């Protein structure tokens, strides 16, 4: 998080504090924000607390970190748009393509959701499909999570 401007870094620190306080699993997994550039959020988690009997990342941990990364991306986008809203994951689908035998690294890109954001502003609710990828050290994907996040403005 060192290369971010002060406002972006503050938003990310706030998000990480929310995760640790309200979703204790995120802290137990040693999940942390590695980078956020406004359009892509990268998170990491140490392998050790997320390891399975094979010495690779536990499937449940891979699901959780990707679902939380998508939720975090939605939280950050709402903050950037100065919208106060509640977020829930409405659905999630995961593909475990390759075993992960290293610290877990996940990237989520926001994409072009201008229409959905306008619908949210107008109607007070919206749904945002987001995709997250677990990345190996060489940058290749080890898996993919597709989630739909339901958002409702707090009025």
Per residue in 34-69, pLDDT (tens digit) is: 999 999 999 999 999 999 999 999 999 999 999 999
Nearest CA-CA partner of 108 in 80, 134, 76, 131:
131
Domain count, the chain: 1
Secondary structure class of 94 (helix, strand, coil): strand
> Would 27 be classed as within a structural domain?
yes
pLDDT mean values, one per 10 residues, the chain (155 residues): 83 96 96 96 98 97 98 97 96 96 97 92 96 95 97 94
Query: What does the pLDDT read at residue 1?
Result: 67
Domain residue limits at 93 = 6-153
CATH number of domain containing 147? 3.10.129.10
Extended beta strands in the chain, E state = 31-36, 40-45, 85-96, 104-109, 125-135, 141-153
> Would 144 be classed as within a structural domain?
yes
Average pLDDT, the chain: 95
For the whole model, what pTM was predicted? 0.95
> Would 1 be classed as within a structural domain?
no
> How many Cα atoms are found within 13 Å in the side-chain-facing hemisphere of 132?
31
Tokens coding 122: 């107008």
């Amino acid at each position: 998080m060192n290369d971010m401007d002060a406002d972006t870094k503050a938003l990310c620190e706030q998000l990480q504090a929310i995760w640790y306080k309200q979703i204790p699993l995120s802290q137990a997994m040693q999940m942390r924000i590695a980078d956020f550039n406004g359009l892509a959020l990268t998170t990491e988690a140490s392998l050790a607390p997320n390891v399975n009997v094979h010495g690779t990342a536990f499937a449940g941990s891979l699901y959780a970190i990707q679902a939380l990364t998508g939720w975090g991306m939605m939280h950050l986008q709402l903050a950037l748009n100065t919208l106060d809203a509640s977020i829930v994951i409405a659905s999630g689908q995961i593909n475990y393509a390759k075993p992960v035998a290293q610290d877990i690294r996940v990237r989520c890109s926001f994409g072009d959701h201008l229409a959905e954001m306008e619908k949210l502003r107008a109607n007070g609710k919206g749904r945002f499909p987001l995709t997250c990828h677990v990345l190996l050290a060489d940058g290749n994907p080890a898996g993919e999570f597709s989630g739909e996040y339901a958002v409702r403005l707090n009025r």
